[in-house]
């Protein structure tokens, strides 16, 4: 019985023929424009013209993500506790790598339209990379601001970032349209670039200076500003999600499921992160905050990817998922009075969660590529039409 349950949970990562059919029919829908976007569009339109037409849009997206991850990992290497000084060049490089990510992420869709290679896979790949990137950006920002001096604020900053990104796609799952606000992703990324550059030029101690009269540190002021803007954005999401604006029957989601259904996954992740943090006998989070947050970020990335897939394929989200195994290892170890050092279990959970996310992304991309008869990173060649054994088995079972 237990083995059957595990098999069913793992197979839930595989798209069914009906999901693939609906995903193929999916049309991208977005509305709204942020404050900085019109100006940045001028640069992005110029930039895409410098890219050879033989470069696949997904390759551009992945290259941008690699830049961003590299900049973040360098900061994490020099300052794993987010309360030390890094070499100045590391902050500057983080700013450059984030700007490179933003630019490449902005032109992948333009490259797809320019080369007549737009597919649903491109949208999924773009949002999937964004779901991973948001974790590294939040951690890097915490390091640049030296929020390790305020571990609870560092924790809150990360969880709010993850929740807000998830909520943006939650309202998309309900309304069928990705809606951008006046202050959105573009402004946020440019703000983070500014933070990195200030830390590089003036040193991260700059953010510990206090605002005259009020006596509030700049880093705390930044956090308060983030809370206010996130609160306003969340209010708009709530109005859409619970205000009857759903695309499905009686205001439900595009899959005709309850608008509350996606709440379980993100709530479970945040709840586990909080419980393990406060119950840790070795103060695991305080000793390794960036590593701890990254592990939960990988779990959040996978459930966000599954939410995007659910939206694009107009299907429901299953409650059980293999991504919860990583945090579960930490939870069980704590329950047994930590017979294995928590730091070791954290590394095991991080490696597992990362591999689980990579496995899911590989399976889904492979299935979609085969269904659409395309390659993920090649817009010139066409795949031979060969039915996979997994798709064949699913089709046989469904019949």
Report yes or no: 276 and 335 within 8 Å, Cβ to Cβ: no
d(CA 326, CA 63): 27
d(CA 227, CA 161): 10
Q: Does residue 311 carry a catalytic annotation?
A: no
According to DSSP H, which parts of the chain are helical? 2-11, 17-25, 37-48, 57-78, 88-114, 120-144, 151-175, 185-202, 218-242, 263-279, 284-287, 289-312, 325-335, 342-372, 389-398
d(CA 307, CA 286): 31
Neighbours of 138 (CB within 10 A): 24
Q: Give the closest residue to 303 by CA, choosing from 288, 319, 283, 287.
A: 319
d(CA 390, CA 383): 17
Single out the catalytic residue among 26, 127, 265, 396: 127
Burial class (CB in 10 A: 0-12, 13-18, 19+), 152: exposed
Task: Provide long-range contacts, Cβ within 8 A and 24+ apart, for 181-185.
Answer: 181/32, 181/34, 181/232, 181/233, 181/236, 182/34, 182/35, 183/34, 183/35, 183/229, 183/232, 183/233, 184/32, 184/34, 184/233, 185/34, 185/130
Q: What positions carry a catalytic annotation?
A: 127
């Amino acid at each position: 019985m237990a083995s059957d349950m595990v098999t069913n949970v793992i197979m839930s990562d595989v798209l069914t023929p009906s999901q693939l059919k609906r995903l193929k029919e999916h049309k991208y829908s977005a509305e709204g424009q942020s404050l900085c976007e019109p100006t940045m569009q001028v640069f992005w339109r110029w930039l895409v013209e410098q890219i050879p037409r033989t470069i696949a849009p997904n390759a551009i997206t992945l290259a941008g993500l690699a830049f961003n991850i590299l900049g973040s990992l360098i900061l994490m290497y020099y300052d794993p506790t987010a309360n030390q000084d890094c070499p100045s060049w590391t902050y500057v490089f983080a700013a450059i790598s984030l700007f490179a990510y933003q630019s490449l992420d902005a032109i992948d869709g333009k490259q797809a339209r320019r080369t007549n290679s737009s597919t649903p896979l491109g949208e999924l790949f773009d949002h999937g990379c964004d779901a991973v990137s948001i974790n590294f950006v939040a951690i890097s920002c915490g390091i640049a601001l030296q929020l390790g001096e305020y571990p609870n604020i560092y924790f809150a900053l990360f969880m709010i970032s993850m929740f807000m990104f998830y909520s943006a796609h939650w309202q998309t799952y309900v309304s069928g349209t990705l809606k951008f606000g006046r202050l959105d992703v573009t402004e946020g990324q440019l703000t983070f670039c500014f933070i990195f550059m200030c830390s590089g030029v003036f040193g991260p101690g700059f953010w510990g200076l206090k605002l005259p009269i009020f006596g509030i540190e700049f880093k705390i002021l930044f956090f308060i500003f983030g809370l206010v803007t996130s609160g306003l954005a969340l209010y708009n999401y709530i109005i859409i999600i619970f205000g009857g604006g759903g695309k499905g029957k009686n205001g439900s989601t595009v899959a005709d499921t309850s608008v509350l259904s996606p709440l379980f996954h993100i709530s479970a992740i945040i709840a586990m992160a909080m419980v393990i943090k406060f119950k840790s006998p070795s103060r695991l989070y305080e000793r390794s905050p960036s590593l701890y947050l990254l592990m939960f970020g990988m779990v959040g990335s996978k459930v966000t990817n599954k939410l995007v897939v659910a939206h694009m394929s107009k299907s429901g989200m299953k409650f059980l998922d293999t991504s919860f195994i990583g945090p579960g290892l930490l939870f069980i170890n704590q329950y047994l009075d930590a017979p294995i050092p928590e730091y070791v279990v954290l590394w095991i959970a991080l490696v597992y969660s990362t591999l689980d996310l990579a496995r899911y992304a590989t399976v889904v991309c492979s299935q979609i590529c085969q269904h659409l008869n395309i390659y993920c990173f090649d817009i010139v060649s066409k795949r031979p039409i060969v039915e996979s054994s997994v798709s064949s088995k699913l089709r046989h079972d469904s019949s």
